[in-house]
Structure 1
Amino acid sequence: MVDSLRFEINSSSNESKKLRIKNASDTIEEIIRKKASFCRFGDGEFMLMLGSSIPFQIYDENLAIRLKDIFKSSVNNIFIGAPHFYFYDGPPLRNTQKYFLRTWVAKNRSLICNMANKDYQYYDTASTQLYALYDDYNFPTYFSKVKQLWAGRDLIVICGQSIFNGIENNIFDSADSINYVYAPSKNAFASYDTLLSEILSFDKKSLIIIILGPTATVLAFDLANRGYQALDFGHIAKDYDFYKKGISHNSVTISEFYKAD
């Protein structure tokens, strides 16, 4: 907790221990401007990289190796995401996120830094789940900006079969067309080669959105290297739906939000 509190205080003495991470607003703006691809790393990816299984994915050595390589990579127009709130002050966090920051993040922050490319400019992983993260934020402006990413475009959404069960407000409604490709909701990496082969049959003019846990991180990277714009945008569909429904987040709803579909 003491370690985490040091990072909640804006002090130049902490700068050498921080990754360089753009905030959520700048992340979305730059993806729009540069038509970049995006590969996100959060606690799930870090846990796999450190040798543990998570609800979405059992530990897989090959997946862990790929994640470690991507987290340290620096490829033109492929943005790598790390959580801005792990290192920097910002809008007020929800209570459950404060607890997470002061426990799991405090324990693992130095390990994350050791796995990172210290010279790289990272982007905010949490830019896809701000309603779950922050207690107060300009959410209407944020979601309006996010929708610009796919406005008027043909969209391929790669996700688990049940991800949209219960979702009443589709954030992708600004797209010209949407084609869904379904994959296993859990342990999707076991089907990686088959999934990649299927997606490579789509036109490269389509925007690829991937909601598939840690597998999405690797898939977005590989697709971007093959000429697609691919966004690992896990949680965005749920986050928008929870916002539109006006759900007041607490420990129960946050648990529901992050559970494996």
Structure 2
Amino acid sequence: MKPLKYYFYTLFKSKDDSNLIRTKSITDSFNYLTSMLKNNRKLFFVRFGDGEFLTLMKLNHRNYNYNEGLEYELQKSFKIKDEKYLIACPINYPYDEFHASGIYKNFSWQEKMISVMNDNNLTRDVVFENPCIFQCMAVFKPKKLKFFLDEEIRPLKKMFIGSTSKEIAEKLYGKIDFYVKIPVKHAYETIDLWWPNIEENAKKVDLIIPSAGSSSNAIALRLWNNGIDCKVIDFGSIIDAVDNRVSRTWIRLQGHKVQKVLNINHRDKLSFKKKFLFFRKDIKFYFRNQIM
């Protein structure tokens, strides 16, 4: 059931087509990605968020400092035009039933992001994917996301690149055949040290999961330029929820819902106190979400 605010919005909000940047809804983007994964051996899903745009503005992020090399690779990644290189953009989300304060909504400073795109001649004439599909599906449609992972991700031979432990990554993604450890922060500063491990084994897998913040875009760009013929998917911060790391507001509010995405033997064993805490969070969030 959709929240009350969604019905009010659809009744009273007038359409504004002045913004030419088009981004798909959560449902449309998730369904399209699923279809493309089923029908292509090679497919890249690359996410741009607020952190990437801060780098393009030559500003520091909480997990990495501005780096000229990273900015260059972000621009190159964004400018790739290919039906198998899906770019998710954090601008002009269409209002849908997933909109929820703290979980998913348009950034208050998206006009600055649009200026960055204009200043850097970044691609605008495509319909972008939605970068928030996995966190929204985890919170609102966990069973559907679990089915997606069971069908499209967990059975594949894969490589994981990130700072999260292999054990935690396997809870979410299934068996990790090649694990590349990177620093928790400022990963791009040491990319020359860990990139060779990726390059050496990239052709041995069906799926590569970069979990490296903005460096994930640099990884995707290099794999694409090297002609790697596999799937590359950036899942964003959902792995932090599995690891019980409150790195995002959505995890603080509803991150516990990710347990339903995991196989039963991988779910946390919750005490009565913890179950009651999550139940209280769910009730509070439900009523809050009707209007915010």
TM-score range, shorter chain: 0.7 to 0.9
For residue 139 of structure 1, the aligned residue among 137, 142, 145 is: 142
Distance 1:194 1:111, change over 3 A: same
Residue 162 of structure 2 contacts residue 182 of structure 2 at CA under 8 Å; is this kept in 1?
yes
TM-score (norm 2): 0.68
Report the RMSD for the aligned CA atoms in angstroms.
Answer: 3.2
TM-score (norm 1): 0.75
Shift of 1:224: 2.7
CA distance in 1, matches of 2:148, 2:68: 37
Residue 46 of structure 1 contacts residue 112 of structure 1 at CA under 8 Å; is this kept in 2?
yes
Shift of 1:187: 0.8
For residue 49 of structure 2, the aligned residue among 42, 49, 54 is: 42
1:128-171 Cα shifts (integer Å, max 9, x gaps): 32257x6xx322112321343323221111101xx249959811
Distance 1:178 1:168, change over 3 A: closer
The amino acid that maps onto 1:232 is D
Give the 3-state SS of the residue equivalent to 2:86 in structure 1: strand
- Unaligned segments of structure 2, at least 5 residues: 1-8, 244-255, 261-277, 286-292
The amino acid that maps onto 2:181 is Y
Structure with a larger share of its residues in strand: 1
Give the match for residue 218 of structure 1. Answer: 218
Q: In percent, how many aligned pairs have the same letter?
A: 19
Residue 39 of structure 1 contacts residue 220 of structure 1 at CA under 8 Å; is this kept in 2?
yes
Shift of 1:122: 2.2
CA distance in 1, matches of 2:130, 2:204: 25
1:174-216 Cα shifts (integer Å, max 9, x gaps): x4x5332101111111122232211111151412111010001
Give the match for residue 171 of structure 1. Answer: 172
Give the 3-state SS of the residue equivalent to 1:90 in structure 2: coil
Distance 1:15 1:69, change over 3 A: same
Distance 1:222 1:212, change over 3 A: same
CA distance in 2, matches of 1:71, 1:122: 11
CA distance in 2, matches of 1:153, 1:245: 21
Give the match for residue 128 of structure 2. Answer: 122
Residue 46 of structure 2 contacts residue 217 of structure 2 at CA under 8 Å; is this kept in 1?
yes
Give the match for residue 109 of structure 2. Answer: 104
- Unaligned segments of structure 1, at least 5 residues: 252-261
1:26 matched to 2:32? The reply is yes
The amino acid that maps onto 1:185 is V
Give the match for residue 257 of structure 2. Answer: 243
CA distance in 1, matches of 2:202, 2:220: 15
